[in-house]
Amino acid sequence: MSSSTTVRKLQVVSPVPADIDIANSVEPVHISQIAKDLNLSPNHYDLYGKYKAKVLLSVLDELQGSEDGYYVVVGGITPTPLGEGKSTTTVGLCQALGAFLDKKVVTCLRQPSQGPTFGIKGGAAGGGYSQVIPMDEFNLHLTGDIHAITAANNLLAAAIDTRIFHESTQSDKALFNRLCPPNKEGKRSFSDVMFRRLTKLGISKTNPDDLTPEEVNKFARLDIDPNSITWRRVMDINDRFLRKIAIGQGPDEKGMVRETGFDISVASEIMAVLALTTSLADMRERLGKMVIGNSKSGDPVTADDLGVGGALTVLMKDAIHPTLMQTLEGTPVLVHAGPFANIAHGNSSIVADKIALKLVGPGGFVVTEAGFGADIGAEKFMNIKCRYSGLTPQCAIIVATIRALKMHGGGPAVVAGRPLDHAYLTENVALVEAGCVNMARHISNTKSYGVNVVVAINKFSTDTEAELNAVRSAALAAGAYDAVICTHHANGGKGAVDLGIAVQKACENVTQPLKFLYPVDLSIKEKIEAIAKSYGASGVEYSEQAEKQIEMYSKQGFSGLPICMAKTQYSFSDNAAAKGAPSGFVLPIRDVRASIGAGFIYPLVGTMSTMPGLPTRPCFYDIDLDTTTGKVIGLS
Amino acid sequence: MNSSTTVRKLQVVSPVPADIDIANSVEPVHISQIAKELNLSPNHYDLYGKYKAKVLLSVLDELQGSEDGYYVVVGGITPTPLGEGKSTTTVGLCQALGAFLDKKVVTCLRQPSQGPTFGIKGGAAGGGYSQVIPMDEFNLHLTGDIHAITAANNLLAAAIDTRIFHESTQSDKALFNRLCPPNKEGKRSFSDVMFRRLKKLGISKINPDDLTPDEVNKFARLDIDPNSITWRRVMDINDRFLRKITIGQGPDEKGMVRETGFDISVASEIMAVLALTTSLADMRERLGKMVIGNSRSGDPVTADDLGVGGALTVLMKDAIHPTLMQTLEGTPVLVHAGPFANIAHGNSSIVADKIALKLVGPGGFVVTEAGFGADIGAEKFMNIKCRYSGLTPQCAIIVATIRALKMHGGGPAVVAGKPLDHAYLTENVALVEAGCVNMARHISNTKSYGVNVVVAINKFSTDTEAELNAVQSAALAAGAYDAVICTHHAHGGKGAVDLGIAVQKACKNVTQPLKFLYPVELSIKEKIEAIAKSYGARGVEYSEQAEKQIEMYSKQGFSGLPICMAKTQYSFSDNAAAKGAPSGFVLPIRDVRASIGAGFIYPLVGTMSTMPGLPTRPCFYDIGLDTTTEKVIGLS
């Protein structure tokens, strides 16, 4: 391995300063230097300012023949509301591998939503001395991918309501005449996207004038059932007042009022498409196949039926390229996609991982983070993402904290924004040991995929030696390949060197092939039940609505898709208060929905909020700009 | 002047191909080359891919001591719905000046909204052989400025409804406790933005604990009157179903239902702020001063009152830098801001113009376009933009077409999407001459600002020599400095060389200082009446609502702001069907609103739509991506 010219070792200060102050204390190197260290030629990336670049997919063609590096996924135990430091561990590990262990390494992270940045504390760039920089560029706009998703999602939404409106006011003939207007020579033609609908309808004619009146009716009239529309508008702002709204109340909309709402942009199916696509052509197909609702006769209506699939692809064509950034210690980071980890699969993109694995090459490391606990993010990483990407991970890290383990052992409730109970600030080995059942189940579940599991014990200042050692022993007893105490928040990469060494060994010593939890050809119910079993459930019960939806999706031909469970992140079960490793419960499936273009069915276990609100004193009170230096202040 | 190494002369084809095909037939040069030709150092711009760069405001500090170039504004006669080619003329003139007349030149254009690109035909990058390239990058996303405006606008909207909600559910003490929570040491403090509200209230204390209960009430309770809220959410998509909506219908919003709606993003006041600001510090002030509505006691409530002024500035901090692009013939273009020309002032930004004037230097040319006819865009350019910028134009171009002049002479109605009447396709000198009264009034009005007026007669293939000569004679008789026939759509810069020569002479021979139509210290009514007089009105009548609003704004201290008339672009009068140069009419002011942060009062003459809809067959049917070459197809 050649030594990188851009990595640097940090001079740390104790106690650890605020994240934004640490981020601002380190001058990033020009991103072209980071690219050069990865052997990226200027033809394969586009600069976006001095510290960001978009890595073009064309680099995959160039590196098609080279081997992949090692592939590591970071998950966690079931978290407290405060989070257990998965992002910080992901970054710290990479700083260790790159700056201290002289390995080629790329971190692959999700792009954070902008909404929470202005609402509640906590960015997503890691923390302390393990961060992606520049922090403000990471948390705001980045390179506009979420903005592109917002625009594309809302273009499709506008197309839906407008089409319903136009169909309600025009005859078949008038509709068709406008859809295929004669050109200056009086000749009509179908646009490219229209052939997709014609194919779906089994019409093979290429000249609009040849269609029979019945064919005109079928082609021109989507006959959307307004009550079946699942597509909502999105916005990347926390705005609870848009959760449920009525639209179309203007006089010109002729009484076509409809109830709908806004999700936050990262909850859009288009975000999930971006994360799961493997190429530009594949993205075009997935976008066109997105189902927005049904016709009155029960057929799924797609974006291509509405004529908008190509336009969505155009809006997303730059978003498909991941954004290159760097850590505090100068190691490369690819930031791409950021789907929710509840109603979507909570992982960064396949294309970023594929590019990174080629760039680091054999013996190099790609580390990606899976959202929430391993029952959610890592499960979906394995069963959805790896299935679509065809990639094989060697190692899964499970991040654990004493705080969370005490909670699982029976400690008092942990509430965001409230001081921690005394039990979390003083030594209590028995409480920690009691909570290790949660970690043990995550280790067992994750091992079943065939990867080596390493537990990263994220050390806090209140943790004692006895508590830390108890966790380490419990992890090894539960079958972890290794368990390592880490201090990367306080010490940067230096604090994760032991973790880096453990991960190297884990990757080099894989003995099992990748094994999915279920084959996709099982029925929807059988797949749901396989996942529920991994949660410790004794069975599953389906609501009437869920049964109806499962029947509909099966009838429509979508039963072969993987399952993306939408479940609370705070428990293995549907009950957020059930800590530890609950078992013997019946998992209630309240509803079942689908993201057909992204390619998964998502059962709802309980209610999932897809549009957060703002508190009384949102973080925007602290966020400002020094208009002399242009620096952002007050980001947390 | 040294000859540029990036300009090139076009090989044109007849008949003129589609805009996207012409744009795709020319390979742009790397934008760093365009920057180099302008003597921009890499420190003063950030690349955004290969063909776009953001020019940083810091270049103004560097060039503070150098002189400005000539400043030219392009307006037009009152247009048909098809537009008369102002953008094409602006670009063609610059191609002529740069590629044929060897002058330093920068074009300053507005960024087009993304909504119309997917809705109706016609981009804004010029047309034919006079275009900004790459066309797809110009019409989609660009460098994310409109996305930033959307996010900032909607953050403020969410802050409004959330604040009303939180105030309705909490006591003064609880509100204050959350707004100024104690830190870990139990000490409370005000954030920077809070001091703005304290100052507004006349409270000089700096320690929250020192406030009296009455002061706590005044500080913590904005007491927003929901019926007074003027701030709407925005989206950069044509979506008529969001024109009028009801929000807050979710169960958790406790019945706080409110009627509101969405505008298209370029209609946001934040867009107008971006266009009229002169620096980062000035933008911070303007954003904070935006008024969203009133308290129940009638006081204006600002973005700073809501605590969000700094956060808005952070979201907009990169948007303040203009985007550098190029024309088909390689001359530089600065694309920045894109406010509506009806409810806002319809001009690109002051900062882009200031940067451009320094970059071209003495003897160079900056050409900027003002939206719609000269009664709207050019009037606001003079009376609003130049007032705030302190810049002085030398020349105003008025673009005229035979088609529009025939319409003004009494020709049949011109309707978008319908074939032109026979009268527009055959010679009719008398009809043209009859329509020249419209052009004559625009010339007279524009000359009154002290600039030399050049008429650019945009030649169409159906125009005859006799018709063109008639317009030229009429323009000169009306007092134009010169009148030139142009063919830049068909011939690129070569077709505008005579226009370029005329503009050079006009700039060198200015004899009058810049003179505004009215001083700002006049009352709101007096200023409205001064503008109405320039329209040919004999008087103004105010509705009851308008009277009430004028009284409110005057009482609130905003009567010193310039006036931004929101009037139909299709007539000097309020009646769109009144062509030619109508006079003797009474101009009805139906309502009066204000953009306090942007800095203008806007009287409404008739109804202005701020959210367009989509037709039955929107342009998105034709827009797609060649996923092999990554080229955009079907943009018009």
Using CA coordinates, name the residue in chain B closest to A281.
Answer: B627
B633 inside domain: no
Same domain, A404 and A428: yes
Strand duo B70-76 + B365-369: pairing: parallel
Same domain, A549 and A491: no
Same domain, B288 and B429: no
HSE, CB side, 13 Å, CA atoms: give it for residue B72. 35
Q: Would you give the distance in Å from CA A408 to the centre of its chain?
A: 26
B136 inside domain: yes
Report the SS3 class of residue B326.
strand
Same domain, A419 and A278: no
Tell me the pLDDT of chain B averaged across its residues.
Answer: 93
DSSP A279: S
Q: How confident is the model at residue B636 (pLDDT cuts 50, 70, 90)?
A: low
Q: Which two tokens stand for residue A516?
A: 């999915």
Rounded to a whole number of angstroms, the distance from the CA of A620 to the nearest CA of chain B is: 5
CB contact under 8 A, B245 and A244: no
Is A181 touching B (CB cutoff 8 A)?
yes
Same domain, B152 and B269: yes
A570 inside domain: yes
Residue A533: is it exposed, middle or buried by C-beta count within 10 angstroms (0-12/13-18/19+)?
Answer: middle
Is B248 touching A (CB cutoff 8 A)?
yes
Is A188 touching B (CB cutoff 8 A)?
no
| Closest of B19, B119, B88 to residue B623, by C-alpha | B119
- Identify the CATH number of the domain in which residue B350 sits: 3.40.50.300
Same domain, B226 and B248: yes
Q: Are B535 and B575 in contact (CB under 8 A)?
A: no
pLDDT of residue B14: 86
A9 inside domain: no
Q: What are the residue ranges in chain A where pLDDT is below 50?
A: 1-2
Q: Answer with the one of A290, A309, A328 that is the final residue of a domain.
A: A309
Is 80 exceeded by the pLDDT of residue B633? Answer: no
Q: Are A70 and A366 in contact (CB under 8 A)?
A: yes
Is 70 exceeded by the pLDDT of residue B3? Answer: no
Q: Where are the beta strands (DSSP E) in A256-297?
A: 258-260, 262-264, 291-294
Residues 579-618 of A with CB under 8 A from B: 613-618
Query: Which is more confident, A614 or B25?
Result: B25
B158 inside domain: yes
Whole-number Cα distances in Å, B498 to B103, B189, B398, B399: 14, 65, 15, 14
First to last CA, chain B: 36
Q: How confident is the model at residue B1 (pLDDT cuts 50, 70, 90)?
A: very low
Over residues B288-344, the pLDDT tens digits come to 999 999 998 999 999 999 999 999 999 999 999 999 999 999 999 999 999 888 789
Same domain, B237 and B161: yes
Torsion, Cα B543 B549 B554 B556, to 10 degrees, reads 170
Residue A197: is it exposed, middle or buried by C-beta count within 10 angstroms (0-12/13-18/19+)?
Answer: buried
Same domain, A414 and A545: no
CA distance B392 to A386: 62
CA distance B103 to B36: 15
- Identify the CATH number of the domain in which residue B551 sits: 3.10.410.10
Name chain A contacts of B620, Cβ cutoff 8 Å. 155, 159, 307-308, 310-311
DSSP A486: E
Whole-number Cα distances in Å, B175 to A428, B131, B172, B221: 38, 55, 5, 8
CB contact under 8 A, A162 and B279: no
For residue B396, give the H/E element and its range.
Answer: strand B395-400
pLDDT of residue A395: 98
Over residues A313-360, the pLDDT tens digits come to 999 999 999 999 999 999 999 999 998 887 898 999 999 999 999 999
pLDDT of residue A1: 41
pLDDT of residue B74: 97
Rounded to a whole number of angstroms, the distance from the CA of B149 to the nearest CA of chain A is: 11
Is 70 exceeded by the pLDDT of residue B362? Answer: yes
Domain count, chain B: 3
- The strand pairing partners of A588, in sequence order, are A541
Q: Which of B48, B245, B616 sits opposite A179 (nearest CB)?
A: B616
Q: Which two tokens stand for residue A534?
A: 């991994």
Rounded to a whole number of angstroms, the distance from the CA of A169 to the nearest CA of chain B is: 10
CA distance B440 to B528: 22
Domain around B332: 17-142+317-507
- Identify the CATH number of the domain in which residue B285 sits: 3.30.1510.10
A610 inside domain: no
Per-residue pLDDT averaged across B92-96, rounded? Answer: 98
- SS3 letters for A251-264? HHHCCCCEEECEEE
B11 inside domain: no
Q: Which of B192, B235, B249 sits opposite A246 (nearest CB)?
A: B249
Cβ-based contacts under 8 A for chains A and B: 274
B175 inside domain: yes
pLDDT of residue B64: 80
Q: Answer with the one of A287, A309, A331 that is the final residue of a domain.
A: A309
Over residues B505-557, the pLDDT tens digits come to 999 999 989 989 999 989 999 999 999 989 999 899 899 899 989 989 998 99
CA distance B623 to B610: 24
Q: Are A137 and A51 in contact (CB under 8 A)?
A: yes
Handedness of CA B350, B356, B359, B363 (dihedral sign): negative
Over residues B122-152, the pLDDT tens digits come to 667 899 999 999 988 898 899 999 999 999 9
Q: Are B239 and A157 in contact (CB under 8 A)?
A: yes
Q: Answer with the one of B455, B479, B507 that is the final residue of a domain.
A: B507
Residue that is written with structure tokens 């909850």 in the block: A267
Report the SS3 class of residue B424.
helix
Q: Would you give the distance in Å from CA A559 to the centre of its chain?
A: 23
Same domain, A360 and A375: yes
Which spans in B235-347 are helix H? 269-276, 280-289, 309-316
- The strand pairing partners of B293, in sequence order, are B301
CA distance A524 to B393: 69
Same domain, A372 and A328: yes
CA distance B514 to A5: 57
pLDDT of residue A121: 58
Is 70 exceeded by the pLDDT of residue B609? Answer: yes
CA distance A79 to A370: 13
Is 70 exceeded by the pLDDT of residue B367? Answer: yes
Rounded to a whole number of angstroms, the distance from the CA of B127 to the nearest CA of chain A is: 19
Name chain B contacts of A111, Cβ cutoff 8 Å. none
Q: How many CB atoms lie within 10 A of CB B347?
A: 29
Residue B501: is it exposed, middle or buried by C-beta count within 10 angstroms (0-12/13-18/19+)?
Answer: middle
Name chain A contacts of B311, Cβ cutoff 8 Å. 118, 620, 623-624
Q: Which two tokens stand for residue B582?
A: 């109508």
CA distance A286 to A274: 9
Torsion, Cα B401 B407 B411 B412, to 10 degrees, reads 120
Q: Which of B47, B154, B313 sits opposite A237 (nearest CB)?
A: B154
Same domain, A164 and A178: yes
CB contact under 8 A, A46 and B47: yes
- SS3 letters for A411-468? CCCCCCCCCCCHHHCCCCHHHHHHHHHHHHHHHHHHHCCCCEEEEEEECCCCCCHHHH
Question: What is the identity of the amino acid at A196?
Answer: R
Q: Which two tokens stand for residue B495?
A: 């077709």
Q: What backbone torsions phi and psi does residue B454 show, to the nearest 5 degrees?
A: -115, 130
Same domain, A544 and A582: yes
Residue B498: is it exposed, middle or buried by C-beta count within 10 angstroms (0-12/13-18/19+)?
Answer: middle
Selected for mutation to probe chain A from B189, B623, B633, B636 (highest A CB count within 10 Å) is B623
